[in-house]
Chains A and B, each alone.
Chain A
Amino acid sequence: MASGSATEYVVHHLEHLAVGDGFWTFHIDTLVVSWVLGLVFFGVFYSVARKASTDAPSGLQTFIETCVEFIDNQVTESFHGPKDFVAPLALTIFVWVLLWNLMDLIPVDLFPEIMKLFGVEYVRILPSADMNATFGMSFTVLILIIIYSVKGKGAKGFGKELFCHPFGSHPLLWPANLMLNIVELIAKPVSLGMRLFGNLYAAEIIFILIALLPVWAQWMPGVAWAVFHILVIPLQAFIFMVLTIVYLSLAYEEH
């Protein structure tokens, strides 16, 4: 392929199916794919949960229970408050992000070509390579961190921590403390969202670049990258989940 069309190809693949203007743009592809994947997650888990029996579990139930047990262990290890919300949150994050990331293994040209038949020019089916998806999740986590801070330490305790930590409680130090704490608070969701986004965005670009190679040469780097990527996909989902639990536990507990 000529270099001009190569650039065009890459740029084309990084364009979202979007409606709206400026800030009020909606990435339809990200929204729809994450909704569908969320429904897949919920549908499978709900179908098992509805019929969950205490008898010897069937194949699917065993798998789902393994997931639940795994998440439950993670949450129990790091979070020592009430788990009614945090455990389902962790499960949702893990499975949902895992499903998002799995979209990266679908050949990069498959959905764009299919959608082209319907006259849709741009489509990206990998939600984790859209900052809005990863930051949507991580900023929700930020809100939860604030909620859990207030719940765990009380509004007064949280305020005190914001103003009197880490330098000391002298009023002159309040601005410095507050600044540092705000940076710390913001850094958490930004790093969470950036990590997931960066990993999957890079992976997607590499897949797109591999797709630029001649057809006969694609399989080798394609397979290598996909195999490597199979490690990255659950790993990133796991990291996102564990860090969320840890952040919430730090927020909830007195220290």
Chain B
Amino acid sequence: MGINATLFGQMITFLVFILLTMKFVWPPIKQAMSEREKRIADGLASAERSQHELELAKERAAEHIREAKAQAADIIEKANRQGANIVDEARQEARVVADREKASAEARIQQEVTQARAELRRDVSELAILGASRILEREVDARVHQQMLDELADQV
């Protein structure tokens, strides 16, 4: 019983074990723990980040789809408009062609009418000469009155 030199032995032992713990036990364990803590925190953070990115990607995809739909609608509308244009143009052209055709037909008709009129005139003058010569058999000398007859025919 009582205090004796064992005290010093115990103090030295105590110090030795404190120093050993300080050098070889505490730092590696503490380091491993804090590193693990950091890794877990990093993992959680990156999971959250991926979640966020996924949401962004979803939004972007929706945006793309919306854009694509709008574009498709645009294209269809344009195509419709173009089709209508083409039909219009075709109609216009057809009208032009028809007008031209009509004009040429009218011209031809006019020409034929003129021709017919000329023929008619000639026939009338012949008939007139014939009639006149019948009536004035003796008095009318064809040679003498030829000039007058031609003038008459021209007047018809």
Residues of A participating in the B interface, judged by any CB pair closer than 8 Å = 14, 20, 22-27, 30-31, 34-35, 38, 41-42, 45-46, 48-50, 52-55, 57, 64-65, 68-69, 72, 84-85, 87-89, 91-92, 96, 127, 130-133, 135-137, 139-140
Contact = CB atoms under 8 A, between A and B. Distances in A.
A49 B29 contact: yes
Contacts of A52: 28-29, 31-32
B112 interface: no
A91 B25 contact: yes
Given A24-B5, A135-B3, A53 B32 contact: yes
Contacts of A14: 1
Interface stretch (B33-41, B44-52, B90-98, B148-156): B33-41
A88 B25 contact: yes
A50 B4 contact: no
Contacts of A54: 32, 35-36, 39
B interface secondary structure, majority: helix
A135 B3 CA distance: 9
Nearest to B40: A54
Interface in B1-41: 1-11, 13-18, 20-22, 24-33, 35-36, 39
Contacts of A88: 18, 21-22, 25-26
A interface secondary structure, majority: helix
Nearest to B2: A131
Most chain B CB within a 10 A radius of its CB, from A20, A127, A136:
A136
A65 B21 contact: no
B46 to A, nearest CB: 16
B22 A50 contact: no
Contacts of B3: 131-132, 135
Nearest to B9: A31
Given A45-B21, A89-B18, A139 B1 contact: no
Contact of B6 (A53, A57, A133): A133
Nearest to A22: B4
A25 B5 CA distance: 6
Contacts of B4: 20, 22-27, 132
Most chain A CB within a 10 A radius of its CB, from B7, B9, B35:
B7
B6 A130 contact: yes
Contacts of B39: 54
Nearest to B10: A136
Most chain A CB within a 10 A radius of its CB, from B5, B6, B7:
B6
Contacts of A87: 26, 30
A87 B30 CA distance: 10
Contacts of A132: 3-4, 6-7, 9-10
Most chain B CB within a 10 A radius of its CB, from A24, A35, A46, A88:
A88
A72 B30 contact: yes
B30 to A, nearest CB: 7
A127 B10 CA distance: 10
Nearest 5 A/B pairs, CB to CB: A136-B10, A132-B6, A52-B32, A88-B22, A88-B21
Contacts of B15: 140
Contacts of B26: 49, 68, 87-88, 91
12 contacts: A14-B1, A25-B5, A25-B6, A26-B5, A34-B10, A35-B13, A38-B16, A68-B30, A91-B25, A132-B10, A135-B10, A137-B14
Nearest to A91: B21
A228 to B, nearest CB: 25
Contacts of B10: 30-31, 34, 127, 132-133, 135-137
B9 to A, nearest CB: 5
B25 A26 contact: no
Contacts of A135: 3, 7, 10
